[in-house]
Amino acid sequence: MLNNLFLKALVVTTTQLTIILIVVASIFIVFILIAIIKMYKLKAENKKLMETNAFKDVDESYKDFTKGHLYGDN
């Protein structure tokens, strides 16, 4: 009798399984949408930062200091 009770408790109907799958799929869709929105925001912020003068100043101020190195000139 106890074994029969466990079997009835573990039986899942197709309706319950469908509802569970729909809930899990909708949660993943929400996570994917959040990731896509964050990706576009980061892309826009990166583009804005690349256009500022702060990045250009850092790049122009770089000086090649390897010319005086002993192993650099062959």
What are the tokens at 46?
């990166």
Average pLDDT over residues 15-29: 96
Asked if the model's pLDDT at residue 60 lies above 90, the reply is no
Residue 28 lies in a domain: yes
What pLDDT does 62 receive?
Answer: 64
Residue 25 lies in a domain: yes
Residue 43 lies in a domain: yes
With H, G, I as helix, E, B as strand and everything else as coil, classify residue 40: helix
Give the max Cα distance, the chain. 89
Task: Report the number of distinct structural domains present in the chain.
Answer: 1
Residue 36 lies in a domain: yes
- Domain, as residue range, for 24: 16-50
